[in-house]
A and B are shown apart, each in its own frame.
Chain A
Amino acid sequence: MTPALQVEGLGVAFGGIRAVDGVSFMAQRQAITTVIGPNGAGKSTLFNLISGQIPPHTGRVALDGVDRTGAPPHLMQRAGLGRSFQITNLFFELTVFENLQLAAQRLEPPRQMLRRIGHGEASLQRVGELVERFSLAAKLGELAGALSHGEQRRLEIAVALAAKPSVLLLDEPTQGMSHGDTADTARLIRDLSRDVTILLIEHDIGLVMDISDHIVVMHQGRMLAEGAPPEVRANPAVKAAYFGDASC
């Protein structure tokens, strides 16, 4: 079966420094692939390359078997790629409903763009589904900027998911969350992976080992190792560069 996302030899350099260098991996359908690595390993830059925010200097990105290398973010989104951000990136001056509606209206046919939003049944239906799934019913009328950090992180995922992407890139979705919120979010991500392919960046190694189907380890812009969680945990190079020999 064609992988949902295929990355081959992806690389980019900034002023002579290779931030991402020859990274290749595949994200299988309805699975969670997690990218780990120390700060500065190039994980977020890799996300920026895949989502079209930065055009790559080398390599290719394929979504559902179709080469999308160099496509700008809006075309990558239309091709089925949704993403969330490490630093919460919402429309803080809009209500929760408006954030969700804005993202979900991509589901409407083009003619709906010039009609009032009340006529967009598909998008309103989708907002209803997201509100239930992400427990945001009580917050619909509040400004996104007025939500708690945990609620904002949930809304961030909901917005990325609104247009029903086939691949969802989640950049540290549990960053800054309490222990309880982190556990809830881990369950949510596991649940989401039944419908959508997930590519995750996460620092919480316990969570990573718990929910990931496949792990890609990055170090200094390069891919150090990849495999199932037990394989990665047992990999000597990963132990040395990331976990530390004594901890594993």
Chain B
Amino acid sequence: MRSASSKDASAFLAFDRSGLAMRASHVLVVILVVAAFGFAAVGAALNDTFYLRLATEALIFGGFALSVDILLGYTGLLSLGHALYFGFGAYVSALVLKETPSFWAAMGAVLAATLVFGFITGLIANRVRGVYFALVTFGIAQVAAKAVYNTRALGASDGLIGIPIVPINLGFMTVMSNAPVAFFLFTLVFVILLYVAAAYLLDTSFGRILGALRVNEHRVPFLGYSTHRARLSIYVFAAIIAALSGALYPMLRGFVSPELMFFTTSGNAVITVVIGGVGTLAGALYGSVILTVLKSVIGTMTEHHLIVIGILFMAVVIFLPKGLMGVIRPRIARRLRGGAR
């Protein structure tokens, strides 16, 4: 063990389990990115469209699952209505793109609108704790989804269709949203940037307060931190991550529908995080890939693929309660700790 003197304060970071765990998550995400580039290369060589677009969808829902993990895994907040923000981002993006096919205008509008919308709904949801929080988030999402479902201006039950192909101007190149390989790689970079933003925030002093909220919320105020402010801040942040992910959906599919806000979408994200590993961030991305592949493969065999997903969910909860990355990540963290000493 290292000498613990004040002269060598930075040596203490070897005892920072949360920081080590986050670095282990980075390793897992790097592996995923390398695999994704390999997949893109194979897809490009085979001139594939179907699997590349399926993988793009997996990444988009992976970004959404990230936001659920920020709340559930790092703050201890189970939202059963987080699809509200994913769908909100998708609708705002679709409305803007129908007016002007500008990626940056859509993203700017989604960011600004979600900041306001997330703050207002966050004020309501964060008035309660525990199971009541889950129920209130569920209720807010259901109300909003039904309102969208019955609003003719938003396409009602049909949703919004006819979203144009979007040229994404990156300065040095332009990515077309209908180009399978290019849009897949763009989505990969976009979702990884969301991961980096989330991972950075969770590894800051503010992020440690969130971890403390998850472990022992009642002690936190006596350390000088407002629990309400911290919960509301992370709620809005998670809403923005979800909405920015959702904003890519109409660019991929060319339409949005009220189902994006429904409980099934929220529930799928929770299942994704549980299968991938709650509180790992990387698990949200892996879980999304696994779930999307399983749905696709099993879906070709039977229309009752949800039964298989349900059984898989139960098996993971019983036999791998920490999820796949929850098993793998500690091993990487141990290696990193060994290397740090």
* Contacts from A to B (Cβ < 8 Å): 51-52, 72-74, 77-78, 82-83, 89-98, 101-103, 105-106, 108, 112-118, 120-121, 123-125, 127-129, 131-132, 136-138, 140-141, 159-160, 162-163
Say which residue of A73, A94, A102, A128 sits within 8 Å of B9 (CB atoms): A128
Known contacts A72-B221, A124-B9, A125-B6; A94/B15 CB under 8 A: no
Tell me what chain B mostly uses at the interface: helix, strand, loop, or mixed: helix
Q: Which residues of B contact A128 (CB under 8 A)?
A: 4-9, 12
Whether A125 and B9, one on each chain, are in contact in the complex, defined by CB atoms closer than 8 angstroms, is: yes
The complex places the Cα of A91 from the Cα of B217 at a distance, in Å, of: 9
Measured CB to CB, the residues of B under 8 A from A are: 1, 3-10, 12-19, 200-201, 203-206, 208-209, 211-212, 215-216, 218-227
- Contact in complex: A94, B215 (CB < 8 Å): yes
| Chain A residues in 8 Å Cβ range of B205 | 105, 108, 112-115, 117, 120, 123
Q: CB-nearest residue of chain A relative to B14?
A: A141
A163 pairs with B223, CB closer than 8 A: yes
A77-B223, A106-B224, A131-B4 are known contacts. Are A91 and B12 too (CB-CB below 8 A)? no
Q: How distant is B28 from chain A, measured CB to nearest CB, in Å?
A: 19
> B215 touching A92 by the CB < 8 A rule?
yes
On whether the beta carbons of B14 and A102 are closer than 8 Å, the reply is no
CB atoms of A129 and B10 under 8 A apart = no
Question: How many A-B Cβ pairs are below 8 Å?
Answer: 130
List, sorted by A's number, 16 A–B pairs whose CB atoms are closer than 8 Å. A77-B221, A77-B222, A89-B218, A90-B219, A105-B208, A108-B205, A114-B205, A117-B19, A117-B204, A127-B9, A127-B12, A128-B6, A132-B6, A136-B4, A140-B1, A141-B15
Neighbour of A94 across the interface among B10, B201, B211, B227, CB < 8 A: B211
Give the distance in Å from the alpha carbon of A174 to the alpha carbon of B7 in the complex.
31
Q: Chain A residues with Cβ under 8 A from B17's Cβ?
A: 94-95, 98, 141
CB distance from A136 to the nearest CB of B (A): 8
- Please, which residues of chain A bring their CB within 8 A of the CB of B200? 116
With a cutoff of 8 Å between Cβ atoms, the chain A residues found around residue B16 in the complex are: 95, 97-98, 101, 117
**What's the Cα separation between A117 and B219 when bound, in Å?**
20
Q: Is the CB of A74 within 8 A of B204?
A: no
- A141–B226 Cα distance when bound, in Å, is 27
Residue on A nearest B222 in the bound complex, by CB: A73
CA distance A52 to B203 in the complex (A): 30
In-complex Cβ contact of B208 among A51, A102, A124, A162 (8 A): A102
A91 with B15: in contact, given A73-B221, A77-B221, A128-B9 (CB under 8 Å)? no
